[in-house]
Structure 1
Amino acid sequence: MSTPPALGLRDFLAALPREGRWLLATVTIQLLGRGMTLPFTIIYLHEVRGFDLGLAGTLMGLIAIVGFVVTGPAGTLIDRYGARPVILGGLVCAIAGDVTLAFGTTPVLAGAALCLLGVQAGVSWPAANALVATVVEGELRQRYYGVNFALINLGIGVGGVIGGLFIDVTRPETFTYAFLANAATFTIPALVMLGPLRHLHGRAARPAADEPDATASYATILRRPEVVWLVVIGVLLSTLGYGQIESGFPAYSRQISEVSTRVVGFAFVVNCAVIVLAQFWVMNRVSGRRRTRVLIATAGIWAFAWVVFGATGLVPGSVAAIVGVVAFQGLFFALGETLMQSAFPALTNDMAPDHLRGRYNAINSASFQTGAIIGPILAGFLLEHDQSTVFIALMVVGCVGIVAGAMRLERRITPAVNGVRPALTAERVGSN
């Protein structure tokens, strides 16, 4: 299979419609405040507010629990009313959640704040992906998701630099300022949605009632084998990946590897820098190739990364532990993320009919929310009970599960859905 021609950032932006450029313009600013709080929320709950590690991990899981609950209704609302109003509702909840968390001195207040953040987490992913899919089409769509992910990490990276230098567990007010700053950054995309993109509803026309899938429910969609395997892969990716970013990774780094909060923050910065610098290179390498194989590569890299991270617990507080923590999050994990984000969202949206895009993205989001529920609770329980070796072993076994799921999914989808261009497929057939 020949490799498609490389596409630079300038060419990509020139090819985007005006609405696509506006959507990208808000990403970095919105995530700037998120980067200031992302690595430190569980540390804030445990070391500043005094909640025990198990409770802190459970509270972190509320984000995903609430997100999971609201994702299904969000998908239905997206298909019926459009993605834009759903995104706006989520942004309001995020602002309220961050303000509450900034002053959340009790588990009840912290839990309420995290529930509000969970609403935004549950609706933003399916709504944003569905909105993008109505604006950007074809090969450009897969590249959009990759660039969007790079910009997300640029914002998180810059925020992480600020947070790592500014936040201090001995000065609780620094956490308060960080959460308030995060709330402020959510107002930017809200203004864009109310201004330049007020005409964009993100709703596809419904097919005639007698056409196939015209009124497909969640139950009907979930009976499809390819969707089931997509969900399995999503749950595992989230449990091993994003479900650990705010819980298992910082907790293991602090409690087992015994590195400082500055090292944790710096690891996030390196992670974001690698993603930003490598995303276009990765996109140009995976374009036109089977997305399931890209997910298999993600699993392989992550398995190695977890082994490296686990080894830091053997040399706590040492330079080797610092290097291992940074290498895990900053290099190996980051490379796997760039591969995953270049494949998984595009796989979901190419599988989905236009009028059901909200539901398909909601199912995708729910699978990741499920993993985000399992991840913090699992990490908090195992680490609190001195089972760090079991924790690392489960992460590696989960990576093997991703490989198995991707292989099963590949047998059930068409080459086009799997990211193989028709011209390239015909070229391969002709060469045989």
Structure 2
Amino acid sequence: MCDVGGVRQNALVISIRSFWGALPREGRWLLSTVAIQTLGRGLTLPFTIIYLHEVRGFDLGLSGALMSLIAIVGLIVTGPGGTLIDRFGARKILLVGLAAMIAGCTLLAFATHPAVAAVGLILIGVNFGVSWPGFNALIAAVVKGDLRQQYFGVNFALVNLGIGVGGIIGGFYVDVDSPETFTVIFLVDAISCLIPAALLLGPLRHVRTQSVPDHGAPPVGGYREILRQPAVLWLTLLTFLAMFIGYGQMEAGFPAYARQVAEVSTQVIGFAFAVNTVVIVLLQFTVLRLITGKRRTRVMWVMALVWAASWLILGAAGLLPDSLAAAIGVLAFMGVFAFGETLLQPTVPAIYNDLASDHNRGRYNAINSAAFQGGAIAGPIAAGLLLDQGLDAVYIGVMVVGCLGIGVLSTALERRIPASANGVPTPESVSG
């Protein structure tokens, strides 16, 4: 009876008050400013290509190529960044990344020449390459046990809240006929980076992500040795496919299908992204309560089925173009897809960090980041090729089959990871 009660108590830990009370002081500092930090990014994220093309007058092809520098540089930097995090600690590397972000946003605010914009976007890409593994390693060093999965989920909801609110504010504020409005939002994005920098230099200055050197311990392996572990390899493939099917379609495949096939207005697409943010913010705590103590690989299966359903809904919207039903279908797609996101984001980062040790946590999170970015780069390419050829049904079919592939990979992963990394309560956590 004691054991069952322990599991039940564990499963009910998720409420805003109990979650906040369970966090260590450093965790509260990290979480309390997430939405404010990301609000600046939300101000600029949807409008950067509009700024480059319509305000600065760069042709659309060049503007797209410039935008791709963020992802390309981020992918290049991620690997070395993970190694540096393990060697020098996440805090120092994050401060370097934030300095690059501040410089990049400031340059972009006044970029009247493509070369200046390119330098600014490269610097932003440097920050993107180190921020994911850096902050995930920092979180894992501060938050332990089941609370870690919950933290990743809540953090994801707050990131979406900040970006969503920032996007709404930016949409009302910026004006292509007033270049100074774009200058302001990029400067605000730069200033918002001072908040995490202040945390890292102040309340979080004592947090260590790297372990104390032990000269008697065997040397820690590099990326090749980590990727040779079957659990890491299967998890990385799963992450790549999830990003290819999911986030890789959000900025390219989904808007293109909604416009060209379902023939909905740009306003409907904008509302769809708002629906995405609202669903994540409203449902994340409920989802966390439901999945606590459940096998994370089984949660991924549910997520795969939810995403498959969302793509089928979008496919149905394409069968009724330029109609109210199509608009409802596009909005419904994004709502159902967002529900799947609330299942994905708490689980995958938690598995990576539960598999890692303090000696190699930066590299584990860098592998996670690289798989994410690789899928986010490959997804739009595949979408463009299929939709450009008019293969609308094939595009939806590829997305649905890919979702089922995520489920298959989850089953393969379950056989290869320890129960503790799969979210199964251990005897110690149950008795506690």
Question: TM over 0.5: same fold?
Answer: yes
- Aligned in 2, Cα 1:424/1:356: closer, same or farther, shift over 3 Å? closer
Question: Which of 209, 229, 236 in structure 2 is aligned with 1:231?
Answer: 236
- Aligned in 2, Cα 1:408/1:373: closer, same or farther, shift over 3 Å? same
Between 101-110 and 345-354, the greater mean CA deviation after superposition = 101-110
Between 193-202 and 95-104, the greater mean CA deviation after superposition = 95-104
1:249 equivalent in alignment to 2:254: yes
| Offset of residue 164 of structure 1 | 3.6
Q: For residues 227-255 of structure 1, what are the alpha-carbon distances to aligned partners after superposition, in whole Å with 9 as ceiling and x for unaligned?
A: 11111011111112222233333344445
Verify the 8 A CA contact 1:295 1:406 in the aligned structure 2. yes
| Offset of residue 383 of structure 1 | 4.1
For 1:334, the equivalent position in structure 2 comes to 338
Verify the 8 A CA contact 2:84 2:93 in the aligned structure 1. yes
Verify the 8 A CA contact 1:54 1:380 in the aligned structure 2. no
Q: For residues 194-230 of structure 1, what are the alpha-carbon distances to aligned partners after superposition, in whole Å with 9 as ceiling and x for unaligned?
A: 222223243222444444xx32111111111111111
Between 20-29 and 170-179, the greater mean CA deviation after superposition = 170-179
CA–CA separation in structure 2 for the residues paired with 1:50 and 1:253:
27
Question: Which of 314, 322, 345 in structure 1 is aligned with 2:349?
Answer: 345
Between 407-416 and 92-101, the greater mean CA deviation after superposition = 92-101
CA–CA separation in structure 2 for the residues paired with 1:254 and 1:178:
28
Question: Which of 323, 345, 352 in structure 2 is aligned with 1:318?
Answer: 323
Question: Which of 167, 170, 191 in structure 2 is aligned with 1:163?
Answer: 170
Verify the 8 A CA contact 1:54 1:377 in the aligned structure 2. no
CA–CA separation in structure 1 for the residues paired with 2:213 and 2:328:
53
CA–CA separation in structure 1 for the residues paired with 2:299 and 2:69:
31
User: Residue type matched to 1:298 in 2?
Assistant: M
For 2:149, the equivalent position in structure 1 comes to 142
User: Residue type matched to 2:303 in 1?
Assistant: T
Give the secondary structure class of the aligned counterpart of 1:38: helix
For 2:31, the equivalent position in structure 1 comes to 24
1:120 equivalent in alignment to 2:124: no
Give the secondary structure class of the aligned counterpart of 2:419: coil
CA–CA separation in structure 1 for the residues paired with 2:27 and 2:293:
22
Report how many residues are paired.
Answer: 424
User: Residue type matched to 1:86 in 2?
Assistant: I
Between 154-163 and 411-420, the greater mean CA deviation after superposition = 154-163
- Aligned in 2, Cα 1:172/1:264: closer, same or farther, shift over 3 Å? farther
1:78 equivalent in alignment to 2:78: no
For 1:91, the equivalent position in structure 2 comes to 98
Between 115-124 and 228-237, the greater mean CA deviation after superposition = 115-124
CA–CA separation in structure 2 for the residues paired with 1:51 and 1:423:
61
For 1:301, the equivalent position in structure 2 comes to 306
| Offset of residue 163 of structure 1 | 2.9
User: Residue type matched to 2:160 in 1?
Assistant: N
- Aligned in 2, Cα 1:63/1:81: closer, same or farther, shift over 3 Å? same
Question: Which of 272, 291, 294 in structure 1 is aligned with 2:296?
Answer: 291
For 2:383, the equivalent position in structure 1 comes to 379
1:12 equivalent in alignment to 2:16: no
Between 149-158 and 379-388, the greater mean CA deviation after superposition = 379-388
Between 34-43 and 216-225, the greater mean CA deviation after superposition = 34-43
CA–CA separation in structure 1 for the residues paired with 2:58 and 2:256:
13
CA–CA separation in structure 2 for the residues paired with 1:197 and 1:168:
39
Verify the 8 A CA contact 1:158 1:269 in the aligned structure 2. no
For 2:399, the equivalent position in structure 1 comes to 395
User: Residue type matched to 2:410 in 1?
Assistant: A
Query: Structure 2, unaligned stretches of length 5 or more?
Result: none
Verify the 8 A CA contact 2:85 2:93 in the aligned structure 1. yes
Q: For residues 32-63 of structure 1, what are the alpha-carbon distances to aligned partners after superposition, in whole Å with 9 as ceiling and x for unaligned?
A: 12223334445555666677776655544432
Between 371-380 and 137-146, the greater mean CA deviation after superposition = 371-380
1:131 equivalent in alignment to 2:135: no
1:270 equivalent in alignment to 2:303: no
CA–CA separation in structure 1 for the residues paired with 2:365 and 2:271:
32
- Aligned in 2, Cα 1:250/1:172: closer, same or farther, shift over 3 Å? farther
For 1:182, the equivalent position in structure 2 comes to 189
For 1:430, the equivalent position in structure 2 comes to none
CA–CA separation in structure 2 for the residues paired with 1:40 and 1:390:
31
Between 175-184 and 366-375, the greater mean CA deviation after superposition = 175-184
Between 277-286 and 42-51, the greater mean CA deviation after superposition = 42-51
Query: Could you state the TM-score of these two structures normalised by the residue count of structure 1?
Result: 0.88
For 1:280, the equivalent position in structure 2 comes to 285
| Offset of residue 70 of structure 1 | 0.8
Q: For residues 78-110 of structure 1, what are the alpha-carbon distances to aligned partners after superposition, in whole Å with 9 as ceiling and x for unaligned?
A: 111100111111112222333344455665554
CA–CA separation in structure 2 for the residues paired with 1:294 and 1:82:
32
Between 258-267 and 196-205, the greater mean CA deviation after superposition = 258-267
Identity of aligned residues (%): 57
For 1:370, the equivalent position in structure 2 comes to 374
Q: For residues 365-423 of structure 1, what are the alpha-carbon distances to aligned partners after superposition, in whole Å with 9 as ceiling and x for unaligned?
A: 11111112212333344445544444333222221221111111111011111110024
CA–CA separation in structure 2 for the residues paired with 1:87 and 1:185:
14
CA–CA separation in structure 2 for the residues paired with 1:407 and 1:243:
23
For 2:207, the equivalent position in structure 1 comes to 200
- Aligned in 2, Cα 1:29/1:327: closer, same or farther, shift over 3 Å? same
